[in-house]
Structure 1
Amino acid sequence: MTAADPIIRIAAKGDGVTASGHHVAGGVPGDLVDEAGAITPGPHHVAPACRHFAVCGGCQLQHADDAALADFVRDRVLNAASGQGITAEEVLPVHLSPPHSRRRAGLHGLRTARGAVLGYREGGSHRVVDLAECPVLHPKLTALIAPLRAFVAAHGPKAMVGIDLTLADQGVEAGFSHFPLEGLGPTEAALDFAREQGLARLTFDQGYGPETIWEPEPVTVTLGGAPVNLTPGAFLQATADAEARMVADAAEWLEGARLVADLFAGLGTFAFGLRAESGRKVLAVEAEQAAHLACKTAGAMSGGQVLALHRDLFRAPLQADELNRLAAVLLDPPRAGARAQIAEIARSTLGRVVYVSCNPASWARDAAMLTEAGFRLKKLRPVGQFRWSTHVELTSYFER
Structure 2
Amino acid sequence: MNDLIDIVRLAGRGDGVTDDGTHYPLTAPGDTVDAFGVVAPGPHHVTPPCRHFPRCGGCQLQHVDDASYGDFIVDRIVGALEAQGLEVPPMDAAHLSPPRTRRRASLRAEKQGKRVVIGFNEGASHRIVDMTECHILHPDLFALVAPLRRLLGGLLRDRRAGGVQMTLTDQGVDLMLEKVTVEGLAADESLTDFAAAHRLARLTLDDGYGPQTRYEPEPATVTLGGVAVPLPPGGFLQATADGEAALLVAVLAGVGDAAAVADLFAGLGTFALPLSANAKVLAVEGARDPALALKAAGARAQRLLLVEHRDLFRRPLDGKELARFDAIVLDPPRAGAREQVDLLSASAVPRIVYVSCNPGTFARDARALIVAGYRIERVTPVGQFRWSTHVELVAAFTR
Q: Which residue of 1 aligns with 2:313?
A: 314
Deviation of the 1:252 alpha carbon:
1.6
Q: Which residue of 2 aligns with 1:221?
A: 222
Supply the distance in 1 between the matched residues of 2:86 and 2:397 (Cα, whole angstroms).
12
Q: Which residue of 1 aligns with 2:244?
A: 243
Supply the distance in 2 between the matched residues of 1:97 and 1:30 (Cα, whole angstroms).
24
Q: Which residue of 1 aligns with 2:19?
A: 19
CA contact (8 A) 1:109 1:119 kept: yes
Deviation of the 1:256 alpha carbon:
1.2
What SS class does the counterpart of residue 198 from structure 1 fall into? coil
Q: Deviations along 1:370-397, whole A, 9 cap, x unmatched? A: 0011000001011111110001110000
Q: Which residue of 2 aligns with 1:166?
A: 167
Q: Which residue of 1 aligns with 2:381?
A: 382
Supply the distance in 2 between the matched residues of 1:319 and 1:257 (Cα, whole angstroms).
20
Deviation of the 1:92 alpha carbon:
1.3
Report the identity percentage.
Answer: 52
Q: Which residue of 1 aligns with 2:393?
A: 394
CA contact (8 A) 1:96 1:385 kept: yes
Structure 1 window deviating more from structure 2 (191-200 vs 88-97): it is 88-97
Q: Deviations along 1:235-273, whole A, 9 cap, x unmatched? A: 110000110111111112212111100000010101012
1:327 aligns to 2:326 (yes or no): yes
CA contact (8 A) 2:118 2:128 kept: yes
Q: Which residue of 1 aligns with 2:55?
A: 55
Supply the distance in 2 between the matched residues of 1:29 and 1:245 (Cα, whole angstroms).
26
Coordinate RMSD, CA, aligned: 1.0
Supply the distance in 1 between the matched residues of 2:300 and 2:249 (Cα, whole angstroms).
23
Q: Deviations along 1:295-350, whole A, 9 cap, x unmatched? A: 00001111232210010000000001100111110000000000000001011111
Deviation of the 1:112 alpha carbon:
1.7
Q: Which residue of 1 aligns with 2:273?
A: 272
Deviation of the 1:284 alpha carbon:
0.6
Supply the distance in 2 between the matched residues of 1:13 and 1:93 (Cα, whole angstroms).
20
Supply the distance in 1 between the matched residues of 2:187 and 2:305 (Cα, whole angstroms).
42
> Structure 1: 5+ residue runs without aligned partners?
none
Q: Which residue of 1 aligns with 2:191?
A: 190
Runs (4+) off by over 6 Å: none
What SS class does the counterpart of residue 70 from structure 2 fall into? helix
Supply the distance in 1 between the matched residues of 2:217 and 2:3 (Cα, whole angstroms).
64
Q: Deviations along 1:137-168, whole A, 9 cap, x unmatched? A: 10100111101111112332221000000000
Deviation of the 1:88 alpha carbon:
4.4
* Letter paired with 1:106: S
The total of aligned residue pairs comes to: 397
Supply the distance in 1 between the matched residues of 2:157 and 2:317 (Cα, whole angstroms).
46
Deviation of the 1:86 alpha carbon:
2.2
Q: Deviations along 1:39-77, whole A, 9 cap, x unmatched? A: 100000000011000111111000000000000000001
CA contact (8 A) 1:112 1:153 kept: no
* Letter paired with 1:82: E
Supply the distance in 2 between the matched residues of 1:88 and 1:264 (Cα, whole angstroms).
26
Supply the distance in 2 between the matched residues of 1:157 and 1:358 (Cα, whole angstroms).
36
CA contact (8 A) 1:5 1:20 kept: no
Q: Which residue of 1 aligns with 2:348?
A: 349
Report the TM-score when normalising by structure 2: 0.98
Cα gap change, 1:116/1:7 in structure 2, threshold over 3 Å: closer, same or farther?
Answer: same
Supply the distance in 2 between the matched residues of 1:358 and 1:190 (Cα, whole angstroms).
35
What SS class does the counterpart of residue 116 from structure 1 fall into? strand
* Letter paired with 1:244: A
Deviation of the 1:20 alpha carbon:
2.3
> Structure 2: 5+ residue runs without aligned partners?
none
* Letter paired with 2:353: V
CA contact (8 A) 2:356 2:394 kept: yes
What SS class does the counterpart of residue 344 from structure 1 fall into? helix
CA contact (8 A) 2:277 2:303 kept: no
1:42 aligns to 2:38 (yes or no): no
CA contact (8 A) 1:87 1:377 kept: no
Deviation of the 1:185 alpha carbon:
1.6
CA contact (8 A) 2:232 2:289 kept: yes
CA contact (8 A) 1:57 1:121 kept: yes
Supply the distance in 1 between the matched residues of 2:272 and 2:143 (Cα, whole angstroms).
32
Q: Which residue of 2 aligns with 1:202?
A: 203
Supply the distance in 2 between the matched residues of 1:166 and 1:182 (Cα, whole angstroms).
26
Q: Which residue of 1 aligns with 2:256?
A: 255
What SS class does the counterpart of residue 165 from structure 2 fall into? strand
* Letter paired with 1:81: L
CA contact (8 A) 1:88 1:378 kept: no
